Amino acid sequence: MIKQEGNTTNNDLLTRAFRDFDQAATVLQQSYDALTTRLQQMDLELAQTNASLREHLRETEEMRAHVTAILESLDTGVIVADSQDVVVRCNHSTEQLLGVPQAQLQGRHASAVLAEIRKDHGEYPLVLPSGVTIALTQTDLTDESGHLIGKLVLIHDVTRIRQLEDRLQRRNRLEAMGQMVGSIAHEIRNPLGSVELFASMLRKDLRDQPQLRSYAEHISMAVQSMDQLLSNLLVYTRPDCSRRGWHETEVLIREVLTLASHAIPPGSIEVRCQVHPLVPQLWCDGPKMKQVLLNLVLNAVQAMPKGGALTLTACPAASEAPESPAVRITVSDTGTGIPAELQSRVFDPFFTTKDQGTGLGLAIVHALVEAHHGRIDVESSPGHGTSFLITLPRGPMQTASSSVPLVTVSDRPESAREITGVTEEKRYE
C-alpha cells in the first residue's frame, strides 16, 4: 500500500514536470515567434531605410552633378574658399580667364590669388596680361545661423562691354569733332575763294613779270592744297555712300591692289589675299570702299619699311544679330604695330604719328565705314603688326532697300581664289 502511494506521488510529480515543461516550451515558442516577427519587421524597416538612403544619395549625387555642370558652364569665373580662406573649388572659366590650372589654384589662399590678379593694375576694371578685361565681386558665405563658413569670388569677363563702351565714346567724340570741323571748313572755304580769285587776277596782270608771276602761282598752289584739305574735311563730316550696289569681292580687291602697286616694293612685301566662297560679292559704294581699302593698304605698306606680309581677307562675320548677317574684311600687316595707348586715337581727325600727313586718313576711313552702316576695329601688337577689321552688312539694310537701287556689277566664280598680284585713286594722308 505504501509502495503504491509512492508510485502515485512520483507519477504526479512527473506529470506536473511535463506540464511545466510544456508550458515553458510554449512560452519559449511564443517568445521565439515574437522575436522572429520583430526581426522581420526590423529587416523590413532596415530595407526601407537603406532604400531611402540610396534614393537620397542618388538625389544628392544628381544635385552635385547638376551644380557642377552649371558651375562649369558659366562664363563667369567662380572661386569658392572655406572659412580659413583656402580655395576649395573653382570652375573652368576661372582657369581660362586667369590662365592658371585649377589644380594650382586649389589649396591656395584666396586673398593671395586676388592680390596676384590685382598686381600692377591701378585701374578698374582690371586688364589682364592676356588682354581680357575682368571685374571682381566678393561675397561672404554664411550658414543658417549667420556664421561665416567661406567666401565666394566671381570673376566677370567684361571685355565685350568695355569694347562697346569704348566704341560708343569714340563715336560720340568723332561726331562732336566732325561738327566742329565742318563748321570750320565752311568758314575757311569762303575767303579761300576770294584769295584764289585775286591770285588768278595777279597772274594775268603779271604776265610780263615772270618772277612776280611765280609768287602768284605759289599762292594759287597753296590755296588749291588747302582747298583739297577742306574737301577731305567735308568728306569726313558728310560722307556720301549712297551709290551702293553689289560688287565682286575679288575684283574690288584686285583693283585696290593694282592702285597700290606703285607703293609696294617688289620682292620685299608678300601680298596674301583670301576671299571666302560665301562672300562672292559686297554690298557697298564701290569707289568709296576702294578709298577705304586703299588707305588701309598704303598704311600697312608704310608700317613695313623692312618688308613683311600684307594680308587681305574677306569672310562671313559672326553677327551679333542672326537676322542681320555680316561680312568681315581684314587688312593685316606684320609691321611695327601701334602702341596700346594710341590705339583708341587712331581714328581721331588730325591725329597722326607720321612726319608728313594731315591725320585725316583713318578718320575718313572710319566715317566711310560708318556711312555703310558698318564698323571698323583695330587690333595691334607692337613689334608684331596691325589688323584693321571692317564689318559690313551682307546685304542692303531694310531702311535703305526702298531708296537705293539694287545693282549687280558682274558674276563671280563659286570657289575662293588666291590673289597673288600686288596692287591711287584718291588717298587721304
Same topology between domain 162-237 and domain 244-393: no
Q: Which CATH class is domain 162-237?
A: mainly alpha
Amino acid type, 153:
V
Contacts of 220 (CB under 8 A, 6+ apart): 196, 199, 200, 203
**What CA–CA distances, in Å, run from 397 to 116, 338, 405?**
48, 33, 12
pLDDT in tens, the chain (429 residues): 555 666 677 777 778 877 888 888 888 888 888 888 888 899 898 989 998 999 999 888 888 888 888 888 888 889 999 988 898 888 888 888 888 888 888 888 888 888 877 754 545 677 777 778 888 888 888 888 888 888 888 888 888 888 788 778 777 776 776 677 667 776 777 787 777 887 788 878 887 888 888 888 888 888 887 777 777 666 666 677 778 899 999 999 999 999 888 888 888 889 998 899 998 999 898 888 998 999 999 999 988 988 899 999 999 987 655 567 889 999 999 998 888 888 878 887 777 777 666 677 888 888 889 888 888 989 988 888 999 999 999 888 654 333 333 333 333 333 333 443 333 334 444
**What CA–CA distances, in Å, run from 34 to 38, 79, 238, 370, 419?**
6, 58, 102, 92, 97
pLDDT attached to residue 358: 65
232 with 428: CB under 8 angstroms? yes
**Nine-digit cell string for 165:** 563702351
| Closest to 107 in 3D by CA, of 127, 91, 87, 92 | 87
For the full predicted model, state whether its pTM sits above 0.75. Answer: no
> What is the spatial distance between Cα 363 and Cα 179, in angstroms, rounded to a whole number?
13
Give residue-wise pLDDT tens across range 256-296: 999 888 888 888 889 998 899 998 999 898 888 998 999 99
Burial class of residue 331 (count of CB atoms within 10 Å of its CB; 0-12, 13-18, 19+): buried
Burial class of residue 215 (count of CB atoms within 10 Å of its CB; 0-12, 13-18, 19+): middle
pLDDT attached to residue 243: 85
Domain 78-157 listed as CATH 3.10.20.30: no
- Fold (CATH) for 244-393: Heat Shock Protein 90 (3.30.565)
Give exposure, 260-288, as e/b (b: 16+ Cβ within 10 Å).
beebbeeeebebebebeeebbbbbbbbeb
Sequence ranges of the domains in the chain: 78-157, 162-237, 244-393
